[in-house]
């Protein structure tokens, strides 16, 4: 075991999978230079035929990845910012997500769509979203949102080995986060949540950067409110069982998610909890999400995005 930064873990996962399988390659904008550091140094080892810099054309990048996956390769399509997936909506949501179903399961689509998500850098609306909702609304796509270096590496390796299209969203505010990462080969299974902190008074479900805000809140409330923090790690497939077990124990739920509040993951999960665990609830489910508003630039950003203070207030309110 050694300590790596989040971005180093992503880089290492790509390198190891490319060494393991010659059919794995990466295509995207400015990746030979190492945009954000996730692909730094890879072109020196694997060459420009496997680390493919593309024009600024997300439709073409996604289409190239889709065609290569159908031909038996395992492409990783790096959009730089996940927001840019909207430009390639047809290729992602109508083609990649649905073609395996439409071809009777006879066509594998081992394809990863990768991109940075989230606010915190004041990069304005087209570079700061967490577009989980459109992915979850498109049957056939899987979605991973790692919150630690360990999970960033393990989930990305699982995604690359999967025969289905996977969206892998990494949060730009976690780039420098350090944590223990095994030296030996490992993967993190999809659909298995992690209880980051046990508790008995309230269940706090959080993903990606929100996990760290949730843990901060749990520490601040220790001795007054016992908070159980659950990190789903993947939103599709979702480990609902672990969440429902926690709800049965605590009777109260707060969901922290950086996607917008309306029609987002938090709304879906809250309704599933109501459907499956209504009798366990001692209070209404609370959501802490981005406001239903475009993410502005500059300091105003903080008023739109969720943060630790808002999560803490929600936990205190649901317990009252």
Q: Is the pLDDT of residue 228 over 90?
A: yes
Q: Is the pLDDT of residue 25 over 90?
A: yes
194-319 placed in CATH 2.30.30.90: no
Say yes or no: do domains 2-181 and 194-319 share a fold: yes
Q: How confident is the model at residue 295 (pLDDT cuts 50, 70, 90)?
A: confident
Could you tell me the maximum CA-CA distance found in the chain, to the nearest angstrom?
Answer: 59
Q: Which has more confidence, 147 or 80? A: 147
Q: How confident is the model at residue 299 (pLDDT cuts 50, 70, 90)?
A: confident
The per-residue pLDDT for 123 is 73
> Is 66 within 8 Å of 76 (Cβ atoms)?
no
- Our answer to whether residue 150 is catalytic in this structure is no
Q: Which has more confidence, 55 or 283? A: 283
The 10s digit of each residue's pLDDT in 69-95 is: 999 999 999 999 889 999 999 999 999
The residue among 237, 35, 60, 69 whose CA lies nearest residue 160 is 69
Specify the residue for token string 């672990």.
242
Flag the least confident range among 12-21, 126-135, 191-200, 262-271.
126-135
Q: Which of 103, 127, 171, 276 is catalytic?
A: 127
The per-residue pLDDT for 76 is 98
What does the mean pLDDT of the chain come to?
94
Rounded to an integer, what distance in angstroms lies between the CA atom of residue 160 and that of residue 110?
Answer: 7
Q: Is the pLDDT of residue 126 over 80?
A: no
Q: Is the pLDDT of residue 287 over 80?
A: yes
> Is 152 within 8 Å of 146 (Cβ atoms)?
yes
Q: Is the pLDDT of residue 120 over 70?
A: no
The per-residue pLDDT for 118 is 86
SS3 98: coil
Domain 2-181: homologous superfamily in CATH: Thiamin diphosphate (ThDP)-binding fold, Pyr/PP domains (3.40.50.970)
The dihedral of CA 121, 122, 125, 129: what is its sign?
positive
The 10s digit of each residue's pLDDT in 153-173 is: 999 999 999 999 999 999 999
Q: Is the pLDDT of residue 187 over 90?
A: yes
The per-residue pLDDT for 66 is 96
Domain map (residue ranges) of the chain: 2-181, 194-319
Specify the residue for token string 């029609």.
263
Instruction: Provide mean pLDDT across the span 288-306.
Output: 88
Rounded to an integer, what distance in angstroms lies between the CA atom of residue 226 and that of residue 14?
Answer: 39
Residues contacting 290, CB < 8 A, separation 6+: 119, 130, 258, 259, 260, 261, 304, 305, 306
The per-residue pLDDT for 122 is 67
Q: Is the pLDDT of residue 22 over 70?
A: yes
């Amino acid at each position: 075991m050694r300590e790596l930064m989040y971005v180093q873990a992503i880089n290492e996962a790509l390198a190891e999978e490319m060494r393991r399988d010659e059919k794995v390659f990466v295509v995207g904008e400015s990746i030979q230079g190492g945009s954000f550091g996730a692909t730094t140094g890879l072109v020196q080892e694997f060459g420009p035929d496997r680390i493919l810099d593309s024009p600024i054309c997300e439709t073409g990048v996604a289409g190239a990845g889709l065609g290569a996956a159908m031909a038996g390769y395992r492409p990783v399509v790096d959009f730089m910012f996940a927001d840019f997936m909207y430009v390639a909506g047809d290729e992602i949501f109508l083609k990649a997500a649905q073609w395996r179903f439409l071809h009777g399961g006879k066509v594998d689509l081992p394809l990863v769509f990768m991109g940075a998500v989230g606010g915190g850098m004041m990069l304005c609306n087209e570079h700061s979203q967490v577009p989980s909702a459109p992915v979850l609304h498109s049957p056939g796509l899987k979605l991973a949102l790692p919150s630690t270096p360990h999970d960033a590496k393990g989930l990305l390796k699982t995604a690359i080995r999967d025969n289905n299209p996977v969206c892998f969203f990494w949060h730009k505010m976690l780039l420098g986060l350090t944590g223990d990462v095994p030296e030996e080969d490992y993967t993190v299974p999809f659909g298995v949540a992690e209880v980051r902190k046990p508790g008995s008074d309230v269940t706090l479900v959080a993903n990606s950067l929100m996990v760290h805000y949730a843990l901060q809140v749990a520490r601040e409330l220790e001795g007054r409110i016992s908070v159980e923090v659950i990190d789903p790690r993947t939103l599709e497939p979702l480990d609902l069982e672990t969440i429902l077990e926690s709800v049965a124990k605590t009777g109260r739920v707060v969901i922290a998610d950086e996607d917008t509040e309306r029609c987002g993951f938090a709304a879906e999960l809250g309704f599933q909890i109501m459907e499956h665990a209504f009798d366990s609830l001692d209070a209404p489910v609370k959501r802490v999400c981005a406001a239903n508003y475009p993410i502005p630039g500059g300091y105003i950003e903080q008023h739109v995005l969720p943060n630790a203070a808002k999560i803490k207030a929600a936990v205190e309110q649901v317990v009252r």
